[in-house]
Amino acid sequence: MLSKNIEVALNKQIRIEAESSQTYLSMACWAEIHGLEGISQFMYAQSEEERIHMLKLIKYVNERGASAEISALKAPRNNYKTFKEMFEELYKHEVFVSDSINELVHITFSEKDYATHNFLQWYVSEQIEEEATAKNILDKINLIGDDKGGLYLFDRDIQQMITVAPKRIP
């Protein structure tokens, strides 16, 4: 059974993961209407991945005898001046999510909920990967600069970064 404090914290993270999915979805729409098909496909895939992260948390909360809450979401930003600005926001968002996961891990450790602490280690590893990917993409964007040919190649290359989402909730 989860403590009330951990249940509240996990439900907060459920909302954050849902908002992350919406953020990526909004970015996918922006990229799509600006002719950036590769970036758009990458963002759609990331949106689905974040949704799976949310569902994994929901199942865990419910399986531990608590109640997962589906709450209202903050509307994501839906307009960017450049694709670089969009990826800078994506990186900042991933850092925010990492900070949130780290705080959640701290709460579980301080409450000696080692089962939840162990469960969250997957999220810790996932966030290391998410931040590294976002940083790597920003580094490539900075190399491109204002080169339109570079943007075209980048848009094609980012499609190769798309991971296939698992068919079932882990």
**Binding-site annotation, residues for Fe cation:** 17, 50, 53, 94, 127
* Binding-site sequence positions: 17, 50, 53, 94, 127
> How many whole angstroms separate alpha carbon 59 and alpha carbon 63?
6
The 8-class DSSP code of residue 69 comes to -
Three-state DSSP at 86 gives helix
The 8-class DSSP code of residue 161 comes to G
Long-range contacts of 138-147 (CB under 8 A, 24+ apart): 138/84, 138/87, 138/88, 138/91, 141/83, 141/84, 141/87, 142/84
